[in-house]
Chains A and B, each alone.
Chain A
């Protein structure tokens, strides 16, 4: 058991009354944004909340928030870009389907999937389509070049949308859910149905198994220097070392933020080795990797659900979060 955190930041959190399951949170510039499961995209402005409904009355299933736009995919099969001025535009429409996964690269490319079908859209708006061997569960761009990683049953694939070449396949038996690429592009990591992580070193496709979790790992976050991968799914944030050539192979992970509640969200600070940890009881801690010091951000409140969204702004001064029961808040570091 960890001792109670010495310092509290709870006085620096501004609550936001959201009222619906928060799917994802983030910032457009300095402005906090929340994408809600019921279909709302909410911009948190100085003078209050601006609520928009980019998908009409349809629910949002997946969302990706970037410095200049909010991308959402809905039950209406539409992929929509929303801007802080309240305007929105449709980027894709898969009639009669749900959008299962959605991602974007910092350089303006994006991709989404429905069932086995993937659409990649480059920064100029050019679209390429591809069918995966089975339903695509996760999408992530590699940091360099226009290359997309997607997870599916029995592994993952790496695809250059502008090339006719068959995607490179990474094989491992089982159902792969979320996918993430390391900031240096050396590793691809997926979370699996059986409460494990699987990784591949791309240089030689060497497999890495990271197991021992009591629940599915639905949140992954890389440290700013790319040396650590923090994960949810246990009653401590499990942080794997990826600094060395071999990644975490043969090395034990670090653990921090041990509490008697499972972790649902993790988010590394954008320029320090500080991890924001969100729990199933809606508590939030900050944990400094160097000395394991903990700071309390949010005291758990009964009936407010689990932390489902957690994101820092670019400077690392502010963090916006939300829960499955519609609570949300904005932390501004003193």
Chain B
């Protein structure tokens, strides 16, 4: 079986610099070819690469899971693209500024045929340093896109003062302290900063270290998007934890955008890692715990209306 084609999802609010980043990726002399799925033609025009127009049609799966939405048009486009091998090295899916990244991401886990041939590499979100503050007030989509991101390109930093930049970074970190953040002018980042991230690869979950700007700078406005991170010393009982995490993500799936964990299961020499998108969970045993490594469990949820006290109590109850 040949290797799966990596897919990068590019999101960002209108005018943030998404198209500039895309054109930059496509023109850099990296020798790679990409198929690009866009929503508007005309802005991207690179002869060497295959550009496909999409309709951003989202539909609900008939599996009783209300947040399990997928992009129907994407399933069809991937099917068409994958019939011809060797035409490209990766697929980039650009979403419109108002799009929710979840249905795009979920398509790569939910559809059997798509999942067999491709793998989601990372969700990259471009953010406008100058206007993010305003967007966060009036556009819930902008907040969603940051919360969902694996990589955040904080763009147009030349248009703001150092203080303004610090303030906007703090706003981003309040929503998503875990994404890799790059500060850019005119979307100038190296290709390897956005591609080949393996953000959904369980083997690449090495550590969960939040990047808070100031210690104790935790925002917990319950109705807003934020994150809850929990560290539990010692071992966890998988027979208690697995039913709980399944139940929790099934019940709160619509509000949980992303989750990730590294767990120390009792009587288990290997680390258990998991990651999830809404209700879709993926987990497996990974490498051995090192002799000098502190056996503890770390879990993070990014989402809406997360009740820290309730989550802490529930996880505490799964301790071995």
Contacts and interface: CB of A to CB of B under 8 A. Distances in A.
Interface of A: 20-21, 23, 37-38, 59, 61, 75, 96-98, 100, 115-116, 134-135, 137, 153, 173-175, 192-195, 215-216, 324
Contacts of B59: 134, 153, 174-175, 193
A194 B80 contact: no
B53 A192 contact: no
Interface in B54-73: 55, 57, 59, 61-63, 70, 72-73
A61 B62 CA distance: 27
A153 B57 contact: yes
A23 B83 CA distance: 9
A173 B62 contact: yes
A153 B72 contact: yes
A323 to B, nearest CB: 12
A71 B53 CA distance: 23
B302 to A, nearest CB: 28
B113 A324 contact: no
A194 B80 CA distance: 20
Contact of A174 (B62, B80, B112): B62
Nearest to A172: B62
Nearest to A96: B41
A115 B80 CA distance: 14
Given A21-B83, A153-B57, A175-B72, A98 B62 contact: no
17 contacts: A21-B83, A21-B84, A23-B83, A38-B84, A75-B80, A135-B72, A135-B73, A153-B59, A173-B62, A174-B59, A175-B59, A175-B72, A193-B70, A193-B75, A194-B63, A216-B112, A216-B113
B290 to A, nearest CB: 40
A32 to B, nearest CB: 20
B26 to A, nearest CB: 18
A278 to B, nearest CB: 16
B57 A134 contact: yes
Contacts of B4: none
Given A37-B83, A324-B83, A137 B76 contact: yes
B206 interface: no
Interface in B11-62: 41, 50, 52-53, 55, 57, 59, 61-62
Interface string B271-310: 0000000000000000000000000000000000000000
B52 A193 contact: no
A194 B53 contact: no
Contacts of A173: 62
B77 interface: yes
Top 7 nearest A-B pairs (CB, nearest first) are A37-B83, A174-B62, A21-B83, A194-B62, A61-B80, A153-B59, A175-B59
B106 to A, nearest CB: 13
Contacts of B112: 195, 215-216
Contacts of B111: 193
Contacts of B73: 115, 135
B116 to A, nearest CB: 10
A137 B55 CA distance: 13
A48 to B, nearest CB: 24
A135 B55 contact: yes
Contacts of A61: 80
Contacts of B57: 134-135, 153
Contact of A59 (B53, B55, B63, B84): B84
Given A135-B72, A174-B62, A192-B62, A98 B84 contact: no
B61 A194 contact: yes
A61 B81 CA distance: 9
Contacts of B41: 96
Contacts of A134: 57, 59, 72
A273 to B, nearest CB: 31
Contacts of B62: 173-175, 192-194
| Most chain A beta-carbon contacts within 10 A, residue among B61, B76, B77, B113 | B76
